[in-house]
Chains A and B, each alone.
Chain A
Amino acid sequence: MLQDVCALVYAGEENPNLRDLVMSRSVAALPVGGRYRAIDFLLSNMVNSGIRNVGIITQKNFKSLSDHLGSGKEWDLSRKKDGLFMLPPFDSTSSAHLYRGMCDAIHSKLDYLEKASQSYCLLTGSYTVYSADYELMMKAHLEHNADITMLYSQEPLDFPGQERFKDVRVSTDEEGRVRDLEVDSNNMRSPKLGMDVYLVKKSLLEYLVQNSCARGGYRFVSDVLIPNLRNLRIFAVRHDGYVQRLHSVYAYYKLNMDMLDSKVRKDLFRPGRPVYTKIKDEPPVRYMEGAHINNCILGDGCELYGSAEGSVLFRGVALGRGARAKNSIIGQGTAVGENCELENVITDKYVRIRKGVRLIGTPQFPVIIRKGAVI
C-alpha cells in the first residue's frame, strides 16, 4: 500500500474539443459509463493503491466536480488525517490569475504539498480513464532508481488524433529511460503515448516547479520535463490495460461505447479494485413488457418501455414506448418520449425528448444535446 504517497490531480484543463459537454463542467466531471464521472477511475486507482491524501486543483466550472466529490466519503477519503482536499483557484494574491499550465497550477498550491506528510507525490491530469495499480509504478520507480516515473500506453501512430489534446509522445532507450518527449507533434515518431501521470519525490517536485516558474516556464512537460531529460532519470513504464483519453467528443463517445465490450469492462472493473462513485440510491432498472434491450450498459433507476441497442443509459433514464435508441449515450435522468428514434446521439443530463422526435448523428460526429434541453 502506498502510504508514503500523496496525489495531486490537476483538474483545471480546458478542452474546447469536448464542445457542449464541458459547457458547465470540467473534463474530470464528464459523465462516463452509465454511472461514473471521469475522475472516479483515477481516484479509485489511488484509493485502491493505498493513497490516502489527494489534492484536486480546480479552475473554471468546478461546481459540478465539487458536488460530485463532496467530502470524499464515497472514495473513503473523508478522513481525520489527510483525505480529499479541493484546491480552488484564486485563493491567494499569488495565484490570482488563470493557470498557464500544470506547473503553474502546482506552483500556486505548493502549500498543499508542503503540508503533506508523505515523501512522494503522484501527479496527474484528469482526462485519462484506466484502471492501474500505482504500486507497480512505485516498484518500477525504485528498481530504476528513477527521479520521475511516468506511465504510457502503446498506441498506433495514426492514432485518431484529429483533435489532439495533451498528446505526449515518449521515446525511451532499452532500459525504459525517457530520451525524448514531443507535445502535440505533427510529426510524431513514437507509438508510446504518455498517460499524464507521474510519480516523483515531493521535494524534487517542489524544487522543479519553483525553479521552472521562476524562469517563466509554466507547463509541466515542455518546461519541466523536456529541459531536464539529461539531468534527471525519467523513466516510462508501459501500461497494458485499456486507456482512453478524453481529448475529443469522438474519444468520449468511444470510451462509452468501448464499455459495451466485456474485455474492456473486465479491465476497468477488476475484482477487488472497485470503481467508487457518488451513490444516488436509485432503485434497480425496471424492464417493462415490450422493452427490447440489447448490448447496452445501464445505470440504476432506468424505466424502460422502448428498445435500445449498442447504447449506454445513465442512471434514471426513461425510455418511452416504441422509442428506439441505437449507438447512443443517454445522460442521467433523460426522458426519451414515445416513438422517438435516436442514433449516434449524446444527451447530457436531464434532457427531455418529446414524442416522435428523430435525431441521427454519425459516430465521428454524434449529435450532442445540452444539459436540460427540451427537444
Chain B
Amino acid sequence: MAVRKKRCVAMLLAGGQGSRLGVLTKYRAKPAVPFGGKYKIIDFPLSNCANSGIDTVGVLTQYQPLELNTYIGTGAPWDLDSSTGGAFVLPPYMKATSGEWYSGTANAIYQNMYFVDRYDPQLLLVLSGDHIYKMDYRRLIAFHEKNQADCTIAVMRVPMSEASRFGILNTDADLRVVEFDEKPAQPKNDLASMGIYVFTWQRLREFLIADEEDENSSHDFGKNVLPAMLDAGCRMFAYPFDGYWKDVGTAQSLWESNMELLEPDPAIALSDESWRIYARSANEPPHYIGPTAEVSSSLISEGCEVYGKVENSVLFSGVTVEAGALVKDSVVMSGTKVASGAQVQRSIIDENCRIREGALVGDGENLTVLGSDVQVEPEAKVKPGDWIAPKSVIAKGGE
C-alpha cells in the first residue's frame, strides 16, 4: 500500500478501563461508554480529528476492545475511511521474540512506533479517549509550530481545590513549561494538563526509546516521559484552552455531564453544524411520542417510543417508556424498556435493561446505576444509590 507522508498523525489512547465507572465498564472500555443520547465518548476526539483535518488516527485499545473495535470499523462515520490514511485499531500484538500488553501510555505509543513511522509525520498528536470536548487541533498545532516547541500540552484552568487530581504545569510568562507536577499534593498553579499532547515526532521518538530502556520507568507520559523531556531542556509549552472539557471518569460525572446537555443553553452545543460530532448511526426509525406522553427538558433519540412521562432525562436510541411510567433526571441507554407504572429517578440505566411494571429504580437523591441487561421484576425496588451488575435480576422483596 502506498503510504503518503503526513504532517500530523493522531494516536488515541483508548485502552483505559474506567474502573470508577464500575458496572458501566464491565464489558466495555471507557471510551466506548455511551454519552448524550447517541454518542460514545470516543466520538468526541474522533470527530475533533475529522473536523480538524487529521485523517490518520491510530486507536490504541486494550481493555475489553470488542465493542470499540466493531464500533470504529473502517472509520467511515467520522469520514476517516480515506485511502491514504484512516482509522486504525491498534491492539497490543505478538512480536518475534515477545509479546506484551501496553504497560503505560508512553509504552503504547512506543509499541506502535513503526505504525507512526510509516507516515513519517512531522508531528504526533496524542489524545485520550476519556473526555467530552470540542477542540480545533489545528490551533494547538499552530501554537506548537509558532513556539518551535518539542512538545505542547493543552491545559485548562481548574479550581485550586481540585488541582491536586491533575498533572499541573508551572510555566513562565510565555507559557513555556518549567515544571511538570503529576498530581501534586501542594499545587503551585491551576493549569491542568488535559491529556492532549502534540510532539515533534522525531524528538519524542528518542525519548520513547530511552524511556523503554529505563527499567525503573512506568512508561507513562505524565510520570516519566514529560519530566524527562523537561530535564533534557526540551522546549515544552502549555496551550491554554477555555472551552468545555469534562472527564466523565465516574458515574457521577457521567450523569452530571449528560444533565448539563439539558440546560437551556448547554455549555457544549451538539447542534453546532460547523463542528458536528459524528457517531455510528443506529439506523432506527424516527422516535414516536404517544398521545399520553409528557416530555419536557429532555433529549430523545431515534427509535424511541414514549407513552409515559419523561422529565429532564436523556434517552438513547430505541428506548421504550410505556404509559404511566416515569423517567426523571435519568440517563437511559439504547434498547431499555420501562414498563407501565415503573419509575426511574436519578439513575443511569445501561443498554437493554427491562424495568417491569410498577418497579422502582432510584429516588431523587442518590445516583443509582444499572449495568446492561438488568431485569427489574414487577413491583421490585432497586435501592437508591445501588450499582447493579450487568445481567442481574432484581426480584420483588429481594432488594
- Residue positions of A touching B, CB distance < 8 A: 33-35, 73, 260, 262, 265, 268-269, 274-276, 279, 281-291, 293-301, 303, 312
Contacts and interface: CB of A to CB of B under 8 A. Distances in A.
A297 B291 CA distance: 11
Given A281-B276, A281-B278, A293 B285 contact: no
A297 B36 contact: no
Interface in B1-40: 36-38
B287 A297 contact: yes
A48 to B, nearest CB: 12
Contacts of A287: 295-300, 310
A301 B298 CA distance: 13
A301 B270 CA distance: 9
Given A269-B284, A284-B315, A299-B302, 5 more contacts: A287-B298, A287-B310, A288-B264, A293-B289, A294-B290
A284 B303 CA distance: 11
B277 A294 contact: no
B286 interface: yes
A298 B271 contact: no
27 contacts: A33-B286, A34-B285, A35-B302, A268-B285, A279-B77, A281-B277, A281-B279, A283-B37, A283-B38, A283-B271, A284-B270, A284-B299, A284-B301, A286-B299, A287-B296, A287-B299, A289-B296, A290-B296, A294-B290, A294-B291, A294-B293, A295-B289, A295-B290, A298-B288, A298-B300, A300-B302, A303-B271
Contacts of B288: 260, 262, 265, 296-298
Given A73-B76, A283-B36, A283-B270, A35 B286 contact: yes
Contacts of A288: 264, 296-297
A363 B168 CA distance: 65
Contacts of B296: 287-291
A268 B290 CA distance: 18
Contacts of A297: 285-289
A285 B276 CA distance: 15
B283 interface: yes
Contacts of A291: 295-296
Interface string B227-250: 000000000000000000000000
A319 to B, nearest CB: 13
B196 to A, nearest CB: 23
B262 to A, nearest CB: 8
Contacts of B271: 282-283, 286, 301, 303
A265 B293 contact: no
Interface in B246-280: 264, 270-271, 276-279
Interface of B: 36-38, 76-77, 264, 270-271, 276-279, 281, 283-293, 295-302, 305, 310, 314-315
A33 B303 CA distance: 12
A268 B285 CA distance: 10
A284 B284 CA distance: 12
B36 A284 contact: yes
Contacts of B314: 284
A284 B37 contact: yes
Contacts of B286: 33-35, 297-300, 312
A274 B315 CA distance: 20
A319 B135 CA distance: 30
Contacts of A303: 271
A303 B36 CA distance: 15
Per CB-CB distance, the 3 closest pairs between chain A and chain B, nearest first, are A284-B37, A34-B286, A283-B270
B299 A265 contact: no
Nearest to B43: A281
Nearest to A260: B288
B340 to A, nearest CB: 15
Contact of A298 (B264, B277, B278, B289): B289
State the main secondary structure of chain A at its contact with B. loop
Contacts of B279: 281
A265 B285 CA distance: 9
A285 B283 contact: no
Give the residue among A265, A284, A285 with the most B Cβ atoms within 10 A.
Answer: A284
Contacts of B302: 35, 284, 299-300
Contacts of A281: 276-279
B148 to A, nearest CB: 37
Contacts of A269: 284-285
Given A285-B300, A287-B295, A296 B289 contact: yes
A140 to B, nearest CB: 28
A279 B289 contact: no
B189 to A, nearest CB: 36
Nearest to A278: B281
Given A295-B289, A295-B290, A296-B288, A284 B300 contact: yes
Nearest to A33: B286
Nearest to A308: B289
B276 A275 contact: no
Nearest to B307: A262
Contacts of B36: 283-284
Contacts of A293: 289, 293, 295
Given A35-B286, A283-B271, A289 B297 contact: yes
A284 B38 contact: yes
Nearest to A293: B289
A275 B285 contact: yes
Nearest to A268: B285
Contacts of B284: 269, 274
Contacts of A282: 271
Contacts of A300: 38, 286, 301-302
A294 B281 contact: no
Contacts of B300: 284-285, 287, 298
A285 B38 contact: no
Nearest to A285: B300
A274 B318 CA distance: 13
A295 B291 CA distance: 5
A11 B289 CA distance: 33
A364 B296 CA distance: 33
Contacts of A294: 289-293
A306 to B, nearest CB: 12
A284 B277 CA distance: 11
Contacts of A274: 283-284
Contacts of A289: 264, 296-297
Nearest to A304: B295
A268 B289 CA distance: 17
Nearest to A297: B286
